[in-house]
Chains A and B, each alone.
Chain A
Amino acid sequence: MKKRTIKSFILCLLAVMLCVTACGTAFASAGDRTVLRFKAVNGTMETWIYAACKVGDDFCVVMQEGGNGTVILRYTDPNGEPERFTMKQEMPEYVENGEFMPGEELAIGDEQAPGEEPAAEEPVKEEPAAEEPAAEAGISELSWDDLMAWDESAEDSQDPMPIGADEGFNWDDADMYEENSTYTNTDTWFGWKGDIYALAVTQNWRANTVDSIKIQRAKLEDGQFTLEDTELPELDHESIMSEMSDGYFSLGEPFTAGNYLIGTVYAGMSNKVCMIDLETGAAEFLDLGEINSITLGPDNSLVYARYDWQSSKCTICRADMKGGNEETLTEFDLANGTISLCYDPDTDMLYYTANGELNRMPQMDPAKAEAVNDCPMNYGRIVPLKDGFVVIWDSSTILRRNTDPAARGGITLRVANYTWDNELMSETSYDMGEKRGDVSVVTRVMDSYRQASTVVQDMMNKDGTTDIYLLSFDGSDFRALRNRGYLADLSDNAQLVENVERMYPYIQDALKQDGKLVCIPVMTTGESFSVNYDLWKRTGGTEEELPKTWDQFFDWLETLPERFAGQDVKICEEEFEYFTSTVMNTLIESYQVWMERKGEDFKFNTPVLNRLLSRLNGLDADRIGIKERSEDDDDYGYVVSYSYYQENNTLLSAWAQLPLNRYNSQGGHPMALSFAEDEDPVLPVHLNVACVNPFSEHAAEAKEFLALALNNLALADQYAFYSDHTEPVHYSYYEENRENMQKWLDELQKNYDEADEGEEKINAEEALKQQKDMMEMEEKYSWVMSPETLERFQKNLPSLKVMSRNIYDDITQSVEEADWAKVAPIGGGEGSLEDALKFIDEKIQMIRMEGN
């Protein structure tokens, strides 16, 4: 009990630090501040925001806060402390507020963290909640089996909605749940006429239908709120659902304008705009084609954004309420397609967040459009406030931003992100805002295919507009910058140097040029196939029996079906084609690393590669026991869905990250193989790096920013980079879960002890055993960074090498589409493998000999 209190206390402290201190400290020069911000703890998001909306003159936030359920915060003054309302718990009720109660007993990762309130009371609250519904539903005679399975399935799907939860539970056996197969979810919240409302959608997850959609009002009093029915008419759910293609209703990006509640719904293959008249309950649907965001403009017009993936262009359009007379207001480049619009009728101003900035367009005049402030989030929704500020929010953060471009003082760091992931930059931008109020960061996600060469061009123009570039280490741009000395020296930032000194040599080697630190790693992206070493050992295999070289690997694959005949072991869950293409990718990249290590000129056409590719292409799906893709399979082989509490019995997988596998629950790890018996194995690592523009005027701040970024690295990357990160880590809710399970176990033990001999005793014993097994599983699968993962990583460490040149870039650049047939034999196509390798060599030699 003591340990738990300490743990809760620490978590409390953490939450308080995140929520409260963030509120208190972050003041930018122009009154910009971070109102709320929630961070993932050990990879788990514990609190998220449903909505931020204007309610009368106040501004409210509705959020899901760990174990506290839904919480409403009301800000009379956005700079001040909010009034806090927690949801009044009306216990007991089986189905409540979208939370799936039986699952509650074992905390679902997403929801199980104490907020600001002492969490010690929780179990007391919840335990009856877990038992009573069972009693109420008349299922006291329910077998423990089913109850266990219940937990399992709830655990399994991290989504509160258990539709699609698959293994381990047979829905047909659970007839007794029939009458309770509905639940109500309230994840659509909006402000209207001075109150907060929610759409209560009652869903039947068995029949996959919606039974009712009600508008409920939140009544706030005494620090608590209740959702109560209103005099407003119930929505006509049948006509609404006839527009939906699946039995699910959720309103995206909801906002109110006049008596209308407007949002987008996903109907079939495209978005539709749904306009609900709150007074009459009638819903109208409007098909505008693919739109990305919508708002109500002046004079009853609709203003929305369209995005064209092919040209990476975003257009803001305006049309009448029926979608007719569409006109284009403005068009701009937008690489990641995330844009959010909001029109403020009071000031006749259209706001939109795109490309890392908050923009405004007065009087709907595109000529007057300008960027007014930074917006670190990718998809920042906007709520205009009265005082010339706006609130920008996403599911984890609420920011207040000045909309006066003149007030945008201080330093603006500009980041051009040519990698696909922008999470790190967003997170670090908040940290930077907290640390340096005078610095704001604008991150623009770039289209790495279309605009790449502009990086080098900018540098040649001595253009310092962009301060930081995020590039792929093996790309031609980064190579060009490196070769021409266009990477600023980062060695003068002690924090960066100190951090990099702590990294493994294989990473450090890549970051330095002439002894100077020129870039920092931000992410590893390589993928490989994985081998479940745990399963291997469990079924009697030894480390020595595992293959060491690629040749042995192919031999080994063919022995597998015989070895596991009759055992409950799957060779590979994915389809054969998918698995072999992953193996080939790993083989070719490893080969490249191996050639580089040997210091020879790169050549594809060698006996080694020729032999290995032939062997790979000669693999027979039946002989190695992996199923082939069949004609009527729609999916692409991504069929992995492991039950959380089921022992993983799949030996091979086509999914594994390099250098260490993040998907630890699969138990698989990448396998390092060598090309000859007497040589060391190799494993290729893809790296994304950040570097500073040598012409940047804010180099010092840019380095400071990068130093902060190193603190925000994804957990797996921290372990992949830092040599002092060797301790395994549990999920944040692990302690609490174990506590609960132990309690449950004690309960069962008591049941067992008190049970009469006979069937009751046997049942109780069975239940006890199951609980013990489950606890063992929990122990095994509760790691974010498991000891096995780290052990395997340490073993692979000497084999790791960062890829400095992307072989596929070279191939796509030099081999024209008309010649693809000539390359086909490499992937097992028709023709001579040797000719294909020769052909590629010839092309690649041309690129390499050109010398860039």
Chain B
Amino acid sequence: MRNQKSLRIWLARFFLTILAVIILLPMVQTFLYSFSSIPEMKNLMESRTIRNENRWMDLHLSPHMISLGQYEQILVKDEDILHYFTNSVLYAAAILLGQTLVIPALAFGLSKFKFRGRETIFFMIVMLMLLPFQVTMVPNVLTLRFLGLLDTVWAVILPMLFAPFFIFLIRQFMISLPDELLEASSIDGAGPFRSFLWIVLPVCRPVLGAAAALSFAESWNLVEQPLTYLTQAVHLMPLSTQFNQLTTRSNGYEFAGAALYILPALLIYLFFQEDILAGIQLTEMK
């Protein structure tokens, strides 16, 4: 009986490790490939078009020879990738900053105040959350053009500040907070603003961390918005739009670019890991 149980646990552990390896492999391989030499990568990428029954791609787990050539290319020689990378950082930072100012407050207003129409507003936010970007794309372009923001960084940043998903996420957490918390602080003479700042926000730390990480992930992977709003301002594009898979030409340093792009996301994840886990575990549909 005990043996059987420990066997089961070992089997499960084995299975989970395999799963974890599969989950991690794309990242790991991207990083490994980023250390191979440019000509080697060029050869590999150009062999993609070969459709020969008798030939396999020369695909290995790790590079033949460790080389920093790709990184030298993207960090020192070629300014483009670094330029787009800076754009990405700028977008992610600006969006994150803006969202912290707007979204928790809105979620607080929608969860801890009782007023008519509150549920309607929330319902609409949920509805907006469900719609893909393209639904409001055209009117949004026209609004942005009217505001003179099209082809500027604001066209990408501003709409993202009010992303319905994060309002939903934080509101769901806040509504589950016991009212007693606020009542206690009210008795101490604190108004809603102070309560929000000193009581609610600290309690919400996990979900805020989760929201921040998820929002970063989203703004780090912007594709449709820049492609739509920045058609005449290519120099403002984030790096995420530059990984074009549709070309057979290869510059040989795509993997260093990809690795460079994955790295911040990875660090953010590792940093906020516990928050994310805690944050999304507490989310429910109520």
User: Is B truly associated with A?
Assistant: yes
A817–B49 contact, CB under 8 A?
A: no
Say yes or no for A808: interface residue by CB 8 A criterion: no
Stretch at the interface among B106-114, B213-221, B246-254, B276-284: B246-254
In whole Å, how far is B71's beta carbon from the nearest beta carbon of chain A? 26
Say yes or no for A91: interface residue by CB 8 A criterion: no
Nearest residue (CB) in A for B234 is: A311
B246–A816 contact, CB under 8 A?
A: yes
Q: For chain B, give the interface size range.
A: under 10
Say yes or no for B245: interface residue by CB 8 A criterion: yes
Bitwise, A799-822 to B at CB < 8 A (1) or not (0) is 000000000000000001110110
Of the candidates A816, A818, A820, A821, the one having the most CB atoms from chain B within 10 angstroms of its own CB is A818
In the complex, what residues of A have CB within 8 A of residue B249's CB?
Answer: 817
Distance of A447 Cα from B234 Cα, bound (Å): 16
Distance of A820 Cα from B248 Cα, bound (Å): 9
Distance of A6 Cα from B234 Cα, bound (Å): 62
Distance of A204 Cα from B282 Cα, bound (Å): 90
Distance of A250 Cα from B246 Cα, bound (Å): 47
In the complex, what residues of A have CB within 8 A of residue B234's CB?
Answer: 311
In whole Å, how far is A827's beta carbon from the nearest beta carbon of chain B? 16
Bitwise, A311-350 to B at CB < 8 A (1) or not (0) is 1000000000000000000000000000000000000000
Distance of A818 Cα from B246 Cα, bound (Å): 5
In whole Å, how far is A480's beta carbon from the nearest beta carbon of chain B? 16
Within 232-286 of B, Cβ neighbours of A (below 8 Å) are at 234, 245-249
In the complex, what residues of A have CB within 8 A of residue B49's CB?
Answer: 818, 821
In the complex, what residues of A have CB within 8 A of residue B245's CB?
Answer: 818
Distance of A517 Cα from B79 Cα, bound (Å): 52
In whole Å, how far is A821's beta carbon from the nearest beta carbon of chain B? 5
In the complex, what residues of B have CB within 8 A of residue A311's CB?
Answer: 234
In whole Å, how far is B9's beta carbon from the nearest beta carbon of chain A? 46
In the complex, what residues of A have CB within 8 A of residue B246's CB?
Answer: 816-818
In the complex, what residues of B have CB within 8 A of residue A818's CB?
Answer: 49, 245-248
Distance of A321 Cα from B247 Cα, bound (Å): 44
In whole Å, how far is A455's beta carbon from the nearest beta carbon of chain B? 14
In whole Å, how far is B237's beta carbon from the nearest beta carbon of chain A? 13
Bitwise, A818-844 to B at CB < 8 A (1) or not (0) is 101100000000000000000000000
In whole Å, how far is A814's beta carbon from the nearest beta carbon of chain B? 12
Distance of A311 Cα from B246 Cα, bound (Å): 21
In whole Å, how far is B74's beta carbon from the nearest beta carbon of chain A? 20
In the complex, what residues of A have CB within 8 A of residue B248's CB?
Answer: 817-818, 820-821
Within 284-335 of A, Cβ neighbours of B (below 8 Å) are at 311
Nearest residue (CB) in A for B48 is: A818
In whole Å, how far is A328's beta carbon from the nearest beta carbon of chain B? 14
Bitwise, A498-520 to B at CB < 8 A (1) or not (0) is 00000000000000000000000
In the complex, what residues of B have CB within 8 A of residue A816's CB?
Answer: 246-247
Bitwise, A74-94 to B at CB < 8 A (1) or not (0) is 000000000000000000000
In the complex, what residues of B have CB within 8 A of residue A821's CB?
Answer: 49, 248
In the complex, what residues of B have CB within 8 A of residue A817's CB?
Answer: 246-249
Nearest residue (CB) in A for B249 is: A817
Nearest residue (CB) in A for B49 is: A821
Distance of A818 Cα from B50 Cα, bound (Å): 12
Bitwise, B77-104 to A at CB < 8 A (1) or not (0) is 0000000000000000000000000000
Distance of A747 Cα from B247 Cα, bound (Å): 70
Distance of A734 Cα from B245 Cα, bound (Å): 60
Distance of A83 Cα from B32 Cα, bound (Å): 79
Nearest residue (CB) in A for B231 is: A453
Nearest residue (CB) in B for A453 is: B231
Distance of A105 Cα from B245 Cα, bound (Å): 65
Nearest residue (CB) in B for A451 is: B232
Nearest residue (CB) in A for B235 is: A311
Distance of A821 Cα from B249 Cα, bound (Å): 12
Distance of A821 Cα from B248 Cα, bound (Å): 9
Distance of A817 Cα from B247 Cα, bound (Å): 5
Nearest residue (CB) in A for B145 is: A461
Distance of A311 Cα from B49 Cα, bound (Å): 30
Nearest residue (CB) in A for B51 is: A821
In whole Å, how far is A825's beta carbon from the nearest beta carbon of chain B? 13
Nearest residue (CB) in B for A457 is: B145
Nearest residue (CB) in B for A450 is: B232
In the complex, what residues of B have CB within 8 A of residue A820's CB?
Answer: 248
In whole Å, how far is B243's beta carbon from the nearest beta carbon of chain A? 13
Distance of A817 Cα from B246 Cα, bound (Å): 6
In whole Å, how far is B45's beta carbon from the nearest beta carbon of chain A? 11
In whole Å, how far is B266's beta carbon from the nearest beta carbon of chain A? 28
Distance of A311 Cα from B236 Cα, bound (Å): 14
Distance of A369 Cα from B256 Cα, bound (Å): 43
In whole Å, how far is A196's beta carbon from the nearest beta carbon of chain B? 47
In whole Å, how far is B108's beta carbon from the nearest beta carbon of chain A? 41
Nearest residue (CB) in A for B246 is: A816
Distance of A277 Cα from B2 Cα, bound (Å): 101
Distance of A821 Cα from B247 Cα, bound (Å): 11
In whole Å, how far is A820's beta carbon from the nearest beta carbon of chain B? 7
Distance of A820 Cα from B49 Cα, bound (Å): 10
In whole Å, how far is A314's beta carbon from the nearest beta carbon of chain B? 16
Nearest residue (CB) in A for B245 is: A818
In whole Å, how far is A444's beta carbon from the nearest beta carbon of chain B? 16
Distance of A311 Cα from B232 Cα, bound (Å): 10
In the complex, what residues of A have CB within 8 A of residue B247's CB?
Answer: 816-818
Nearest residue (CB) in B for A816 is: B246
Distance of A816 Cα from B49 Cα, bound (Å): 13
Distance of A311 Cα from B245 Cα, bound (Å): 22
Distance of A818 Cα from B245 Cα, bound (Å): 8
Distance of A817 Cα from B45 Cα, bound (Å): 14
Distance of A50 Cα from B49 Cα, bound (Å): 55
Nearest residue (CB) in B for A821 is: B49
Distance of A820 Cα from B246 Cα, bound (Å): 10
In whole Å, how far is B72's beta carbon from the nearest beta carbon of chain A? 24
In whole Å, how far is A313's beta carbon from the nearest beta carbon of chain B? 10
Within 645-702 of A, Cβ neighbours of B (below 8 Å) are at none
In whole Å, how far is A331's beta carbon from the nearest beta carbon of chain B? 11
Q: What 7 additional pairs, Cβ within 8 angstroms, besides A818-B245, A818-B248? A: A816-B246, A816-B247, A817-B246, A817-B247, A817-B248, A818-B247, A821-B248
The 10 closest A-B pairs by CB, nearest first: A816-B246, A817-B247, A818-B246, A821-B49, A818-B248, A817-B246, A817-B248, A818-B247, A820-B248, A818-B245
Interface residues of B (CB under 8 A from A): 49, 234, 245-249
**CB<8 Å pairs between A and B, sample of 15:** A311-B234, A816-B246, A816-B247, A817-B246, A817-B247, A817-B248, A817-B249, A818-B49, A818-B245, A818-B246, A818-B247, A818-B248, A820-B248, A821-B49, A821-B248
